Structure 1
Amino acid sequence: MDVLQSHRVEMLGIAVAVVAIAAGSAYYFYFTKKPKGCLDPENFKEFKLVKLTQLSHNVAKFRFALPTPTSVLGLPIGQHMSCRGKDSLGDEVIKPYTPTTLDSDIGYFELVIKMYPQGRMSHHFREMRVGDYLAVKGPKGRFKYQPGQVRAFGMLAGGTGITPMFQVARAILENPEDRTKVNLIYANVTYEDILLKEELDRFAHNFPDHFSVFYVLNQPPEEWDGGVGYVSKEMIQTYCPMPAPDIQILRCGPSPMNKAMAAHLNDLGYTSQMQFKF
């Protein structure tokens, strides 16, 4: 009788353990899975502006709330989204933008926007106030970053072209398992035009073995230790990884810069597979 009772207790313990394991697995599967993203690639969805921070006379950071505090935007690293607004004449305008936030920033996303005097979408952002809504559609883009896909990135950015570079660099540096190196050359007209400088300098300080940034200015201040003029072949040779099958050069900036950088890279021996233009 004691043996039978002991056997029943043992079987009951096993059953409880199996149920506990099954329950734990179910909990992990249903409750700890990454939330579904909020973007729709086919239809525009509206997101409320909840915070507006003026960074300079023509640059501001816009924070938009997602539907819930635990929602994620759902934008793959290296991709962008289309934003819809109205220009000064009331006509519809659609323009691509890359957030500076990642899906690890739950409940909201942020856009750092430089507002040009004659920019059509710039007008829309300049007129926005907290409580207004922005129509967004995505994800869009041909680039989707996967950790470890290359040994190193060289990044050539101009002006607002820094935002996709910042997104990729931040994703790499915040992942302790990702050992990809990032070498950024960032060109602007004046010192005041440099976007996200505080964040980029923090990356360089906190991750000296994995991130470097070299600033280039057309009109530098009197005391300036960065590059002067335009990004040259010599700068690329000095600050970017040399051509190799396991590296890639990303570029994003105004059309004249993109055209010049493509010519430089071709002359330096970077194949088309080693280059990508956002």
Structure 2
Amino acid sequence: MDFEQLVALASSPAFIVTGGLILAGILFATVFSSGNRKVLKPTEWQEYPLVKKTQISPNTAIYRFSLPRESDILGLPIGKHISVSATIDGKEISRSYTPISNDEQKGSFDLLIKSYEKGNISRHFTTLKLGDNLRVKGPRGAFDYTPGLTGAFGMIAGGSGITPMYQIINAVLRNASDKTQVRLIYANVNEEDILLRSELDVLADAHPDRFKVFYVLNNPPAGWTGGVGFVSKDQIQTHLPASTHNAKILMCGPPPMLKAMKVHLDELQWPAPRTVSKLDDKVFLF
């Protein structure tokens, strides 16, 4: 075919229509295949700007960070966490956090951060202003929840250790076909320290046959009907599934608390957790 014949073909109505349809198809595929893009990269730090801060107590806030596009999702499997990095006093420091949002939230993600006096990264969050960037990498961690992983979860959380539990609880309960039973013991010092309490209570009220929560306080107010003091072996035995069941224990909280819980669980015939937990462990520590 010579040049004049090629020009004639390109100018024909059939070619114009066909070419236009092909171009439209390419554009359609490009636009819709790019929706819900997962942005997390396990080996590369990325920066996301702070767009909203919601103070929920004197030392705790929810920080919302924006993703590059409104249709983007973080791409974090249920049960995994992200690494957060900051340069503090000339040193690069990183810590792990579990977002309280999930991939149904597009264009942003939320971190619930309780600032501790000796916590380098948690105190760093309090210095962030709207528009400041946060360095993030992930997913991280050995836990990856899928329906049917176990028949029941017994959870023990302390303080901000509630965040991975909340993520998993939400994933279980929003799936009507997931029959996993969830029982949570959540320990804090004072009543005002109970993070996500209203959210947990709403979930417990909405799913009374699937999820129950038992609160424990060191300093309970008058009329308190929950647990008092430290989480005890009796409370674990009463409120969490037994080791003989098709169940797993998940724990996240301050190291002294976890150390005490390991003793209780050992006495209740749960296998000792490994130093680094694996997905198939009966007792998993975040």
Is the deviation greater in 113-122 or in 223-232? Answer: 113-122
The one-letter amino acid of 1:58's match is: N
Structure 2 vs 1, CA of residues 33 and 90 (structure 1 numbering), >3 Å: closer, same or farther?
Answer: closer
Structure 1 residues 246-257: aligned runs within 5 Å = 246-257=246-257
What secondary structure, in the 3-state scheme, does the structure 2 residue paired with 1:164 have?
helix
Q: Which residue number corresponds to residue 216 of structure 1?
A: 216
What secondary structure, in the 3-state scheme, does the structure 1 residue paired with 2:57 have?
coil
Cα deviations across residues 34-89 of structure 1 (Å, max 9, x unaligned)? 834211110110011111111010000001111111111011100101101233x3
For residue 275 of structure 1, the aligned residue among 277, 283, 286 is: 283
Gaps of 5+ in 1: 1-26
Cα deviations across residues 143-183 of structure 1 (Å, max 9, x unaligned)? 11011111110000011110000000011111111111110
Tell me if structure 2 keeps the 8 A contact 1:151–1:247.
yes
Q: Distance in 2 between matches of 1:252 and 1:163?
A: 9
Q: Distance in 1 between matches of 2:195 and 2:169?
A: 15
Gaps of 5+ in 2: 1-27, 273-280
Q: How many residues get paired?
A: 252
Cα deviations across residues 13-32 of structure 1 (Å, max 9, x unaligned)? xxxxxxxxxxxxxx99x947
Tell me if structure 2 keeps the 8 A contact 1:58–1:115.
yes
The one-letter amino acid of 2:109's match is: F
The one-letter amino acid of 2:148's match is: G
Q: Distance in 2 between matches of 1:70 and 1:143?
A: 26
> Does residue 46 of the first structure (1) align with residue 43 of the second (2)?
no
Q: Which residue number corresponds to residue 61 of structure 1?
A: 62
TM-score, normalised with respect to structure 2: 0.84
Q: Which residue number corresponds to residue 197 of structure 1?
A: 197
What is the CA RMSD across the aligned residues, in angstroms?
2.0
Q: Which residue number corresponds to residue 124 of structure 2?
A: 124
TM-score, normalised with respect to structure 1: 0.86
> Does residue 133 of the first structure (1) align with residue 133 of the second (2)?
yes
The one-letter amino acid of 2:124's match is: H
- The percent identity for this pair of structures is 50
Q: Distance in 2 between matches of 1:73 and 1:248?
A: 27
What secondary structure, in the 3-state scheme, does the structure 2 residue paired with 1:112 have?
strand
Moved over 2 A (4+): 30-36, 89-92
Q: Which residue number corresponds to residue 162 of structure 2?
A: 162
Q: Distance in 1 between matches of 2:210 and 2:225?
A: 21
Structure 1 residues 1-278: aligned runs within 5 Å = 31=32, 35-87=36-88, 89-244=89-244, 246-272=246-272, 273-278=281-286
Q: Distance in 2 between matches of 1:78 and 1:103?
A: 12
Tell me if structure 2 keeps the 8 A contact 1:40–1:139.
yes
Q: Which residue number corresponds to residue 18 of structure 1?
A: none
